Chains A and B, each alone.
Chain A
Amino acid sequence: MNSVNDRTRDIGPFVPGPDDDMLICRCEEITKGEIRQAVHDGMWTLTEIRRYLRTGMGLCQGQTCSKLVKGIVARELGVSPAELEPATSRVPMRPIEMRVFANEADSNKEGE
């Protein structure tokens, strides 16, 4: 277990900040305060934050906010952003309509 995930570590209480109402994930409308609070709720990894708040799960799939979220979580934990494991990358990499996702081309057919 690395130091980032050592949950016995005391990161201090949640201290409200003046910019807590600033939107960070604009697709899912999550604020800086919500992300900071989530860390104090025990969400110490980016994957947990994503599941808890849905940051980076909207239309842009985290293209805009993932670096910002990472910075906020790292600051709250008192670690360098580079120490935080990024959230898992999964198919589909880009937002895609379910009807397209379900429409697998015949593997024998020329696809283009």
Chain B
Amino acid sequence: MKRYDLIVVGAGPSGLSAAIEAAKKGLKVVVFDENEKPGGQLFKQIHKFFGSKEHRAKVRGFVIGQQLLDEADEAGVKVVLNATVIGLYQDKEVVVKLGGEVVHYKGDAVIIATGAAENMVTFPGWTLPGVIGAGAAQTMMNLHGVLPGKRVLMLGSGNVGLVVSFQLEQCGCEVVALVDAAPRVGGYGVHAAKVARTGVPFYLSHTIVEAEGDECVTGVTIAEVDSSFKFIPGTEKHFDVDTICLAVGLSPMSQLLKMAGCKMEDNPKRGGQVPISDSYGQTSVPGIFVAGDVSGIEEASSAMIEGRMAGNVAAEYLGYIEKDALKEELDTLDKALDGLRQGMFAPSNRGKLIEKTDEGIEVSQSLLKNGYIADEEIERFPGVVRKVGVHPVIECTQNIPCNPCQDACKKGCISIGKNITSLPIVVDGSECINCGMCVANCSGQAIFLVDEDKGDGSAEITLPYEFLPLPEEGTKGFGLGRDGKVVCEAVVTKCRSSKAFDKTHLLTIKVPKEYAMKARFFKVS
């Protein structure tokens, strides 16, 4: 039986991070992954990540995936693909299906980083072709270049539902409705806002009554639900769609750990069946560790840190590093993880209704109910100020751990301060040079450059634009409000692209000046 110091199951963000750390400490490491491509979900993530520099913020997910693969390669990690781990035994024997045979390996330590699987919900017609998971839609679009459908209804307003809705729009699909049984949007407000402003209507406190069609989905009916999630008669709404996307949460894929004899618990806060483990991933079986979503659903940035923790703990377990060195590593990683687990969406705040920001400003209720901030709400946030000349307007209104904008502005116009979750402010007396770096660097696409009065009755708005084809200078169209509805006529005066913008294009539109604080998207007429 072939032996490794460390066997990692799963080549996603946490598994690769664990393998890299362990290999750097001198362990002989192999990573098995059942997929034909490594990276887990990272290669499907085409949006820019949140966080700070240390968390690789403003880097797109698939780029992070490539960086991890390069680092793994450099550290001497062996990544074996199309390798399905079918069994894990208590003595850390790992059984792998490789090609047409079954191979047994022995790991002195094993890290399970198998991630999670999508949840499903049932409704009449849920087994019709055309009802798919949001992750499946992402796989089709972003890995295989296949359009999931033409007209799509998205169920689920968490970050997955929001991000995938935006990607569907980018692919040219029409998202006819974003639906959630919960009364409030579950994901980041900035993700919701960028979907809403393209014209996608949000239906909160609604869910699917039935999917229609004989051979495949041809339509869907939704209806409003009351506080006990019962349908309210007479509130039915019908949409012609060919695809229904489900983004209703994830469940840890923890079966291998149960098989190996690890003590398990059903913990709804962590998404279901998870191993009982300490904060660094040690399970009840010495030498078997966990990292990432399999130990509790979070997201890729924290999964990478958890992976690095588990990699270091495994190195210490096998005697490759001393206890002191481990403590030092873990202290740093603890801080990084704490940084990510701050703010309104922190795991400790899950399910809580937060009415005010840390700054004491009332949270936009329209953002939570409709996906966009109402015109009358927007000016109470510190990033939204009126000034003479070009200036940034930062529509970032929830406390989330993210700060690339303050480094993006070389002129010091934007400040978040020491606390990474604080709302960004426009610094008094600062001078904006219209460079657009803030617009391109905001992962939430929430920053606009606005010149409220050009002197000829018009205003200019520069907005982040990630759609093709890019409108040329002089293109006529409409300015859309935050709610995605046409508010005025608009004409493109500039479209800037640059390597530094990393594929976020900067579209400048000219609108009548009374719409300077209202128009936030452009639609070609």
Binding partners A and B: yes
Interface residues of A (CB under 8 A from B): 19, 22-24, 26, 32, 63-65, 67-68, 81-84, 86, 88-94, 96, 99-101, 103-105, 107, 110-112
The contact string, 1 if C-beta is below 8 Å from chain A, for chain B 84-126, is: 1111000000011110111111000000000001011010101
What residue in chain B is nearest A62 (Cβ atoms)?
B255
Since A94-B84, A101-B102, A112-B103 are in contact, a sample of 15 more A-B pairs with Cβ atoms closer than 8 Å, ordered by chain A residue number, is A19-B122, A19-B124, A32-B122, A81-B266, A82-B267, A84-B266, A91-B259, A92-B95, A93-B259, A96-B97, A100-B97, A105-B102, A111-B103, A111-B105, A112-B80
A-B pairs, top 10 by smallest CB distance, nearest first, are A91-B87, A111-B103, A92-B86, A82-B266, A89-B255, A89-B259, A89-B258, A105-B103, A105-B101, A103-B101
CB atoms of A82 and B103 under 8 A apart: no
Selected A-B contacts with CB under 8 Å, 18 pairs: A24-B122, A86-B258, A86-B273, A89-B256, A91-B95, A92-B95, A92-B97, A93-B85, A93-B256, A94-B97, A104-B104, A105-B103, A107-B1, A107-B104, A110-B2, A111-B98, A111-B103, A112-B98
> B103: which A residues are within 8 A, CB to CB?
104-105, 111-112
Interface residues of B (CB under 8 A from A): 1-2, 34, 80, 83-87, 95-98, 100-105, 117, 119-120, 122, 124, 126-127, 251, 253, 255-256, 258-259, 264, 266-268, 272-273
> A91: which B residues are within 8 A, CB to CB?
86-87, 95, 259
Which residue of the partner chain, among B80, B86, B264, contacts A93 with CB atoms under 8 Å? Answer: B86
> B126: which A residues are within 8 A, CB to CB?
22-23
> B86: which A residues are within 8 A, CB to CB?
91-94, 96
In the complex, which of the residues A83, A110, A112 has the most CB atoms of chain B within 10 Å of its own CB atom? A112
What residue in chain B is nearest A64 (Cβ atoms)?
B120
Bound CA–CA A19/B209 (angstroms): 12
> A82: which B residues are within 8 A, CB to CB?
266-268
> B264: which A residues are within 8 A, CB to CB?
86
Bound CA–CA A6/B307 (angstroms): 41
Which residue of the partner chain, among A86, A90, A103, contacts B102 with CB atoms under 8 Å? Answer: A103
What residue in chain A is nearest B34 (Cβ atoms)?
A94
> A107: which B residues are within 8 A, CB to CB?
1, 104
> B266: which A residues are within 8 A, CB to CB?
81-84, 86
CB atoms of B101 and A112 under 8 A apart: no
> B97: which A residues are within 8 A, CB to CB?
92, 94, 96, 100
What residue in chain A is nearest B125 (Cβ atoms)?
A22
CB atoms of B259 and A90 under 8 A apart: yes
Task: Tell me the smallest distance from the CB of A26 to a CB of chain B, in Å.
Answer: 5
CB atoms of B122 and A22 under 8 A apart: yes
Bound CA–CA A83/B259 (angstroms): 19
CB atoms of A100 and B255 under 8 A apart: no
> A110: which B residues are within 8 A, CB to CB?
2
> A83: which B residues are within 8 A, CB to CB?
266
Bound CA–CA A81/B248 (angstroms): 17
What residue in chain A is nearest B123 (Cβ atoms)?
A22
> A32: which B residues are within 8 A, CB to CB?
122
> A88: which B residues are within 8 A, CB to CB?
258
Task: Tell me the smallest distance from the CB of A59 to a CB of chain B, in Å.
Answer: 14
Bound CA–CA A92/B96 (angstroms): 9
> A63: which B residues are within 8 A, CB to CB?
117, 253
CB atoms of B251 and A26 under 8 A apart: no
> B104: which A residues are within 8 A, CB to CB?
104-105, 107
Bound CA–CA A19/B122 (angstroms): 10
> B83: which A residues are within 8 A, CB to CB?
112
Bound CA–CA A67/B268 (angstroms): 12
Bound CA–CA A96/B87 (angstroms): 12
Which residue of the partner chain, among B34, B96, B255, contacts A111 with CB atoms under 8 Å? Answer: B96
Which residue of the partner chain, among B100, B119, B253, contacts A100 with CB atoms under 8 Å? Answer: B100
Bound CA–CA A64/B103 (angstroms): 27
Bound CA–CA A19/B101 (angstroms): 43
CB atoms of A92 and B87 under 8 A apart: yes
Q: A103-B100, A111-B96 are in contact. Are A93 and B255 (CB under 8 A)?
A: yes
Task: Tell me the smallest distance from the CB of A45 to a CB of chain B, in Å.
Answer: 14
Q: A81-B266, A89-B256 are in contact. Are A105 and B98 (CB under 8 A)?
A: yes
